[in-house]
Homo-oligomer: A and B are copies of this chain.
Amino acid sequence: MNVPKSENISRVQLQVTRAQREGALGQRGVTVWFTGLSASGKSTIATRVDQLLTERGRHCYVLDGDNIRFGLNRDLGFSPEDRNENIRRIGEVAKLFGDAGTISLSSFISPYKGDRDEVRALHEAANLKFVEVFVDCPLATAEERDPKGLYKKARAGEIKNFTGIDDPYEAPENPEIHLRTDQMSLEDEVALVIEYLLEHDIIREKYLTRESDKDQDASAAA
């Protein structure tokens, strides 16, 4: 058995602090919140950041429609009230992940400024970093991409309350990161997010070294 035979075990509750969890993970907890129109590129960027950081041993998790809309929020639709409750719950879950020391990457249209600001306030009250990433492209570009044919259906009136068509998208005024996906490469978008995390001490460069990088470094130095 690995339980220490310490004399100090008592009914006193010693709560593990966030700093201790972060220490065990070698990173700081954070919520990176990607917001933007459908087909703006949110999930593509979040997934790529997740992949790069996980490969380097960081602990991340992506919150998106796939694991939220069919689970925690399966009782919610797309009315304004339900959209608000949808984002409220996601914000609360992201906060729990951040408190656990995880880098959570939330990828939701989250069109209403008020809802996003509530999530930000929730994080600030818990002394947790909230990084709003505005994944920005013109509506025309998103509509041209239309990978799931949703804009087409919305224009045809088959989907109601579709953001950008008959429901507003309220752009962030002061996002921590602003990406113009119609003008930038995916590499550059991902690089800006990771640079931000490095600059704000969420991750540290020294943790980002893996064997293949070391080999490259060695070659570069040679």
Produce 1/0 per residue, A34-61, CB < 8 A to B: 0000000001100110111011111111
A71: min CB distance to chain B, Å: 5
Please tell me if the beta carbons of B72 and A93 are within 8 angstroms of each other in the complex.
yes
Please tell me if the beta carbons of A186 and B9 are within 8 angstroms of each other in the complex.
yes
Knowing A57-B24, A99-B67, A195-B1 are in contact, say whether A15-B47 is a contact too (CB < 8 A): yes
Number of this chain's copies in the assembly equals 2
A198 lies within 8 A of chain B by Cβ: yes
Question: Which 3 pairs, one residue from A and one from B, show the smallest C-beta to C-beta distance?
Answer: A72-B92, A61-B100, A2-B208
Please tell me if the beta carbons of B59 and A13 are within 8 angstroms of each other in the complex.
no
User: How many residues of A are in contact with the other chain, CB < 8 A?
Assistant: 57
Could you list which residues of chain A lie within 8 angstroms of chain B, going by C-beta atoms? 1-5, 9-11, 13-16, 20-21, 24-25, 43-44, 47-48, 50-52, 54-63, 67, 71-72, 89, 92-93, 95-97, 99-102, 122, 186-187, 190-191, 194-195, 198, 205, 208, 213
